Amino acid sequence: MQVRFLHIKRFFSVPMLISLIAALTATGLFFVRSFENLELLFIDRAYKRAPARLSAVPVVFVEIDQQSLYQIGEWPWQRDVHAQLIADLATYGARSIAFDVFFATEITEDAFKEGFFLAQSCLTAENVYFSLNFTIFDDNYTPADPVQITPVMESFACPVTLPDWLAPYRSEPLHIVEPLYASLKGAGHIAVLEDQDGKIRRVPLWLESGDRYFPQLALRIFMDAYGITDIDFPERNLMRLTGNDGSRYGVPIDNRGQLFINWPGDFYDTFYHCSYFDILNSFEQFAAGETPLISISAPDGQHTVDASDFFKDKICLVGFTTAGLVDQKPVPVANRYPLVGIHATIIDTIASQSFFRFIPWWIHAATAFLTALAAAIIVLRTSLVWSILFTFGISAGLFFFSAYLFYSRTLWLQSSYCIFAVAISFIMSIIYYMVGEKKKKSEIERIFKRYVTADVVEAILRSPESMELGGKRRSASIFFCDIRGFTPLTEQLAPEDVITLLNTCFSMVVKIIFHHHGTVDKFIGDCVMAYWGAPTPLEDHAYCAVKAAIDIQKKLAEFNAERAALNLPRVEMGIGIASGDVIAGNVGLADGAFQRTEYTVIGDYVNLASRLSDIAPGTEIFISEETCRRLNGRIPLDPQNTVRIKGKSTPVPVYKLVKAENISQ
């Protein structure tokens, strides 16, 4: 169980660390403006691709259009024209009449009569709303001479208590014509704030001025039209409107009181529209006892309707749509959008409770972590091709899942942050993999360069998957070479001469082993252990091992001839070779801060080769029966009697090579 736990821990530890770093980095991008702008562009694209929907809210745009300017005259019009429009709509039964037009010019003595008619129409209708203009301040700015809030202006503020987390923009109202505004049902601000890219996506529902809070025009209209009697803030970033019938409307807002607008579609694709002049003209028919027919522009086309029936209980928004007068701004659904349309969109959003909602940051962080973890595991456990395909796949999946949430639930998963986390995880995993591969190759080179020739090391590095350091069964020939009578020999030599002799003998043996593609395993006192067939497979390993043994004995004979000329004692070596299946792999301590491992071979044939070396007389080469079989008669052999080997229950056949000097190359 503990081993399994350690395996799982090793499997997840590095990917979890990488994914944690990636997720934290991506989460930190929530506070980076450039990435917020990128996410807003994704939102804009989603809105443009979304099908337009007809608003269920009874809103009609009364447009000051080109036809109205042609029939009535150039702007500005006399105020008795607006008085007539208000009277006509009130007669038709309109629920609310709101002007996205700012009446700032004082009523002169000459124009008193027309101003009186407008004010009288507003008082009579009892449902007229005008716009308020405000100058918005920076948070650290305080005007030296603040504008005094007049009683008329104060009547448009809402007696609402805001929570500590809500800090509306500070502002100052522009001048209004008080006798005219005093006749209104209400008024609201029409301030809009652009994002860095110039687009309008959110609107402040409240502005603060002199410790008073002024609602946005659409919010003011909605509260009166839907009988809102109470405003509270039950939780952070949520405003709740309660109607006189007990109905409740939750409105998500940010810490500045801004509503992120949920656009139902382009200006002409979602609401009803009619011409300002057509209403005046239809009322002349109505006054003459005729049916007041009017042309209405709807998302599904033009319709001619009975004005006295159509405008009943409608919220009428009066504003500019003609070029030159209209204040148009870019919004997610259009590059030029009449700002009067924002009021209808706000009313529609609140009434239908179809808000655009961002998924909480902690869900983004969790999603970023899990997707980054998956990417890290795939990169570190599979090939580069699969890693790239998976990374692109999960990024595309995040994008399409975000689109699904948007179109089905109006929820927005900020996929750019999650995709960025996946990208960071992918890059970090690739770097870790490359560093790990370099370290692994360095470790392989460190392990094997002592045992094998440089070309074998290069072959292993070119194809490290061809071997398994953890252990693999291989067909090999095991070689033991032991110096005979080494102890008596050392008694005749000084200690430094003993080391010199060993180094000379071992150097001679190792060079020959390498020449015949063998691997030196270890030096055991005066003995050398080597093998053929690992770490890289070798088809004719038995023949290579025997040829190396023959060359060693020949080289030893030459070495002894040189020593005899110097009156130095002979050096004799007994060699044993056994062939068969062994287990090859790293053995030792491979966990913890201290690591000590060596590549070696273990198995019954290792023991057999060691025993054959022990019984082989000096200058002789003893091989096992399997080694003999693999030679296929290519080298002369003298069969020996079976001998008992320690650790074997039955006698083992042994073969001896003929004298090395009698074997031709």
* Domain parsing of the chain, residue ranges: 2-31+359-440, 50-352, 462-662
Q: For the residues 198-218, what does the mean pLDDT come to? A: 93
Task: Give the side-chain half-sphere CA count within 13 A for 85.
Answer: 26
Residues 6+ apart with CB under 8 A from 439: none
One DSSP character per residue, 71-94 reads HH-SSSPPHHHHHHHHHHHHHHT-
Q: Which DSSP symbol is given to 661?
A: G
Question: Across residues 200-208, what is the average pLDDT?
Answer: 94
Q: Say if CB 91 and CB 279 are below 8 A apart.
A: no
pLDDT at position 599 is: 78
Backbone angles phi, psi at 165, to 5 degrees: -75, -15
- In CATH terms, 462-662 corresponds, of 3.40.190.10, 3.30.70.1230, 3.40.50.970, 3.50.50.60, to 3.30.70.1230
Dist. CA 638–CA 660, nearest whole Å: 12
Contact between 323 and 308 under an 8 Å Cβ cutoff? The reply is no
- Can you tell me which residue has the tokens 């002894």? 560
Q: State how far the alpha carbon of 98 is from the alpha carbons of 187, 222, 319, in Å.
A: 9, 11, 9
User: Average pLDDT in the 491-503 region?
Assistant: 84
Cα gap 459→445, rounded to integer Å: 11
Q: Residue 8: which pLDDT band, with cuts at 50, 70 and 90?
A: very low
Q: Give the mean model confidence (pLDDT) for residues 578-583.
A: 94
Output the pTM of the full model: 0.65
pLDDT at 447 over 70: no
Tell me the C-alpha distance between 272 and 297, whole Å.
6
Give CA–CA dist 665/508, Å, rounded: 18
Identify whether the C-beta of residue 340 lies closer than 8 Å to the C-beta of residue 325.
no
Separation CA 626–CA 620 (nearest Å): 18
**pLDDT band with cut points at 50, 70 and 90 for residue 178:** confident
Tokens standing for residue 481: 């070479």
Which of 39-43, 146-150, 468-472 is least confident? 468-472
pLDDT tens column, 327-376: 788 999 888 888 899 999 999 999 989 888 887 777 877 888 888 887 88
25-39, 180-194, 290-304, 312-326: least confident range? 25-39
SS3 at position 58: coil
Strand 328-331, strand 334-338: pairing: antiparallel
Find, among 608, 653, 595, 661, the residue nearest to 629 by Cα. Answer: 653
Provide the mean pLDDT of the chain.
84
